[in-house]
Each structure stands twice: as C-alpha cells, then as structure tokens.
C-alpha cells in the first residue's frame, strides 16, 4: 500500500523516480531504467524540458511527421504534424497531393478578435451600474496602459470593454466583456493581465462612486479570465474543382463520389453522433499541427467544439456543395493561435516547425491549420464513402501490431510485403508471425 507524501516537488528528479518505483512499480521492475532511457543526453535540452512543467520525471515522446505538397494560397508548404495515430499523416499527404493537382487550397481570415471577461456580482440597481460603467470606462482603459503599450506598438491592444447584464441567467451576475487584438501572440498572458487590472480598477472606482447607495458599492469580482470561445477569431479554408476531376477510384464515378461527400457532410450536420466523429477526424489534422507549432491544443479543442454547437445543435465544421458542375468543400472554425511567445520559441521542435512553415504570422498559421483540418476531413470522407476506413488504416497500423507482437526487423519486412495483398487484423498478423517463426 503506497504512503502519501508531502514535499514531493522538493525532491530531485532521481529521488522522485526512486520514490515512485518503490511506491508504485510492483510489476514494472525496470521503471527507473525505462524513465531514464527517455532522458535526453544533452543535459541543457533535458533541463529545458524539465522546466516546462512541474514534477518532471522524464519525456513523453510523440512522433513528428511531415505532410508535404500543401499548396495554400499559392505557397507550397510541408506541414509538420505531432501525433501518435497512424494513418493521419498519410491521409493529410494524400489530400495535399490530390488538391495540389487541382489548384490547391485557398484560405482567408474572417476575424482575429480574442475575448476575456471579468465576472462579477452586483446586488444593486442595474441602471446605476450602467451609468457607473459609462463614467469609468476611460479610466478602466487607461489603467491598463502599462500593460498594453508594447502590444499597441504591434498594432494590437484592447478593442473594447462592454458591460454585460447577465442577471436573466444568474441573479446579480454581470461581466466586463472585453475584446482584444493580440497580433502574432496567442495572448493568454496579455489578456489575463489586462483583465486582472480591469477588475482591480473596477473595485477601486466603485468605492469612490457617489451614485451608489450603501451596499451597492460591494462589487464581488468572482474571476477574471480569457475565454477560449472565440467566435470572431475565425478562418475559412476551401477547395473546389469541376466534378469531372474527382476521379478517385475505378469503381465510383466522379459524380457519385461528389454526391456521397455532400451526403456525408449533410449527415454530420443533422446527426450529432456522426458529427462528433466527423469533427474528431478534422481535429486529427488540426491538433497535430497545433501541437507541432507549440500551441495549446486544449484551448483549440474547447473553442472549436463550442463553435460547432453555436446554433444550439452540434454540427459539422466542414461544408460540401455541388453547383454548376463544380464541387466545393470548405471549413470554417475559430483558431486562437500564436507564432511568438509561449512555447513557440522555447521548444526547439516547435521553433523548427514554425521555420519549416516559413515563419508564418498568426494569421498565416490559422490558414495553414484550417487547411490541415479540411484536408484530413476530405481524406477521411473519401475513404469512408468508398472502400471504408479500415483497409487503409489497418495497413498503416500493421507496423504497430508487429511491434506489439515483438517482431524482428526481418520478420517485419517479410510480413509487411505479405500483407500488401491480405486483410490486416490482429489475429491474422499474429498467426502469420507464428507461422513465420515456426518455419
Ligand atoms: C479516426 O481517427 C477519424 C475518423 O473516424 C474520422 C471520420 O470518421 O470522419 C476516420
């Protein structure tokens, strides 16, 4: 039975690992060796990673893959993707090549506005609060000057502060709803610092305001925090081509194929069970590039799914249509990203990924990542409406099965060739490996 510990964070890395091994590793006797085998030999690099988070004991690797041949707004890019799931990079690469031969992807920014809110409770007269807010709005803004100066030099800053009365949904609940432009920074720290200053100014100003009666001066600030729901920080990506150019498989005509893709998107628009999986496939592409470029995929995930449900019904993030013999396929989603600050310049691979992408601005990165999502969805739908997903997926997954079964390099080579023409399943591969070993 393990014992609780206090002061774990104060232990050295070695001590943490030793404690863990004695307390929890009853089965994995080689815990210490496994954890240490993932340490980087370059001690400076390892220290950098150790310091990203707290209580670090080792590194947890994800593969970094490349999907080449992405023509986006006439720029040819090789997209870095950090992801553990087989098939995703292959699918993105396939889509990229397909659309490269049909004019590439077009992407446009619809908006870049970020959001943050000071949530507070006010038990007095709402009209008086509105008057108070009008009087102090300039003071609120000027109190953040020390924080906004350098962002303003880059063309960003606080766009507006609005008092929102939310008492219809929760008694006495109001917000300072603030909008921001953060240019190439994701802006979380900037936004949160501004919000905390605004909350302080709000509390100070309320004390000096003569328009309130006693009791009304007690504004209770509950919290000040950015919102990861950014429905006005949105990007669109699209592809189109004449239907006759959609010859993807011998046994389906371009017209049938285009119609099936349109149907598949319609289904994802009306059926949440399908929409979630449809959008999950899109996020395979989005998250992989978000992660590779040092951005916060949890923030992106939360914001994107809220956007998919913005009209009260969870829907597809992509659209497909046929008009005048032309097939159009597009995606529209919110992406609050940064190409400066945060991990983007500290994590060597995030920095390198951004270099590979030709050092994009945040807007360009939004465009690239939206395209990655669209490409992923196109690949998934193409497979789903034709051969099904398993054929290609299991072929890609074969390597994982062979590794799981402990196959040698030679055995892997032989069986990979053999399964070129056979259906891959865990049992089939296990049987084939057994037969090979007995030969
Ligand atoms: C698997 O990771 C993603 C798919 O399920 C997406 C989809 O069904 O559209 C293939």
Our answer to whether residue 106 is catalytic in this structure is no
Atom of ligand 1 nearest to the CA of 284: 2
Q: What is the pLDDT of residue 258?
A: 98
Residues 113, 184: Cα–Cα separation, whole Å: 12
CA distances from 287 to 146, 152, 348 (A): 34, 30, 18
CA distances from 197 to 26, 119, 207, 341, 429 (A): 50, 13, 16, 21, 61
Mean pLDDT of the region 32-41? 94
Please identify which residue in the block is written with the tokens 């004695």. Answer: 22
Instruction: Give strand ranges (E) for 59-141.
Output: 64-72, 75-82, 106-109, 114-121
Residues 288, 82: Cα–Cα separation, whole Å: 5
Q: What is the pTM of this model?
A: 0.93
Q: What is the pLDDT of residue 208?
A: 87
Mean pLDDT, the chain, integer: 95
360 CA → ligand 1 middle, Å: 28
Mean pLDDT of the region 220-243? 98
Q: Whose CA is nearest to atom 10 of ligand 1?
A: 380
Residues 288, 90: Cα–Cα separation, whole Å: 13
326 CA → ligand 1 middle, Å: 25
DSSP 8-state assignment for residue 414: H
Q: What is the pLDDT of residue 27?
A: 60
The residues lining ligand 1, judged by C-beta closer than 6 Å to any ligand atom, are 85, 277-278, 280-281, 284, 380, 384, 389
Residues 265, 315: Cα–Cα separation, whole Å: 9
CA distances from 211 to 133, 205, 208, 257 (A): 11, 11, 9, 67
Q: What is the pLDDT of residue 29?
A: 65
Our answer to whether residue 49 is catalytic in this structure is no
- End-to-end Cα separation, the chain, in angstroms: 47
CA distances from 35 to 45, 56, 203, 300 (A): 16, 11, 49, 30
Hey, what are 314's tokens?
């969870």
Q: Which CATH class, in words, describes the domain spanning 114-227?
A: alpha beta
Q: How confident is the model at residue 28 (pLDDT cuts 50, 70, 90)?
A: low
380 CA → ligand 1 middle, Å: 6
Q: Whose CA is nearest to atom 2 of ligand 1?
A: 281
Our answer to whether residue 273 is catalytic in this structure is no
385 CA → ligand 1 middle, Å: 12
Which residues does 209 contact at the CB level (< 8 Å), separation at least 6?
132, 135, 136, 217
Atom of ligand 1 nearest to the CA of 389: 10
Catalytic residue among 49, 280, 395, 412: 280
Q: Whose CA is nearest to atom 4 of ligand 1?
A: 281
Instruction: Please state the separation of Cα 21 from the chain's center in Å.
Output: 34
Mean pLDDT of the region 247-262? 95
Mean pLDDT of the region 152-178? 98
Question: Residue 107 pLDDT > 90, yes or no?
Answer: yes
Q: What is the pLDDT of residue 394?
A: 79
Q: How confident is the model at residue 260 (pLDDT cuts 50, 70, 90)?
A: very high
Tens digit of each residue's pLDDT (9 = 90 or more) over 364-397: 999 999 999 999 999 999 999 998 988 777 788 8
**CATH number of this structure's domain 69-109+234-387, picked from the four choices 3.40.250.10, 3.90.770.10, 3.40.1350.10, 2.40.10.220:** 3.90.770.10
What are the residue ranges spanned by the domains of the chain?
8-50, 69-109+234-387, 114-227, 392-438
């Amino acid at each position: 039975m393990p014992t609780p510990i206090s002061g774990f964070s104060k232990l050295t890395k070695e001590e943490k690992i030793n404690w863990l091994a004695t307390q929890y590793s009853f089965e994995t006797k080689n815990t210490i060796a496994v954890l240490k085998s993932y340490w980087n030999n370059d001690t400076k690099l390892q220290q950098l990673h150790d310091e990203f988070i707290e209580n670090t004991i080792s590194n947890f690797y994800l593969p970094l893959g490349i999907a080449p041949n992405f023509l986006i707004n006439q720029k040819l890019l090789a997209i870095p993707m950090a992801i553990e799931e087989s098939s995703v990079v292959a699918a993105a690469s396939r889509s990229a090549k397909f659309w490269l031969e049909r004019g590439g992807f077009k992407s446009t920014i619809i908006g870049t506005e970020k959001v943050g809110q000071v949530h507070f409770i006010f038990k007095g007269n709402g009209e008086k609060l509105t008057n108070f807010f009008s009087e102090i709005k300039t003071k609120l803004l000027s109190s953040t000057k020390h924080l906004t100066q350098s962002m303003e030099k880059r063309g960003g800053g606080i766009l507006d502060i609005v008092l929102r009365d939310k008492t219809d949904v929760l008694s006495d609940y109001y917000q300072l709803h603030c909008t921001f432009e953060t240019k190439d920074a994701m802006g979380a720290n900037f936004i949160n610092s501004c919000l905390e200053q605004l909350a302080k100014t709000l509390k100070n100003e309320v004390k000096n305001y003569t328009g309130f009666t006693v009791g009304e001066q007690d504004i209770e600030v509950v919290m000040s925090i950015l919102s990861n729901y950014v429905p006005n920080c949105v990007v669109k990506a699209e592809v189109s081509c004449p239907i006759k150019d959609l010859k993807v498989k011998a046994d389906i005509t371009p017209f049938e194929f285009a119609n099936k893709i349109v149907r598949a998107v319609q289904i994802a628009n009306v059926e949440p069970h399908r929409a979630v999986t449809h959008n999950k496939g899109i996020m395979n592409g989005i998250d992989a590039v978000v992660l590779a470029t040092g951005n916060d995929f949890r923030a992106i995930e939360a914001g994107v799914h809220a956007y998919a449900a913005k009209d009260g019904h969870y829907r597809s993030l992509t659209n497909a249509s046929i008009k005048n013999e032309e097939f159009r396929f597009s995606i529209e989603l919110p992406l609050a990203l940064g190409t400066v600050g945060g991990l983007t310049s500290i994590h060597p691979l995030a920095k390198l990924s951004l270099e590979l992408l030709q050092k994009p601005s945040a807007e360009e990165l939004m465009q690239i990542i939206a395209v990655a999502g669209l490409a992923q969805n196109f690949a998934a739908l193409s497979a789903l409406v034709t051969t099904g997903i398993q054929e290609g997926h299991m072929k890609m997954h074969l390597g994982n099965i062979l590794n799981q079964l402990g196959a040698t390099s030679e055995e892997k080579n032989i069986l990979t060739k053999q399964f070129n023409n056979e259906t891959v399943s865990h049992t089939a591969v296990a049987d084939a490996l057994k037969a090979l070993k007995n030969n």
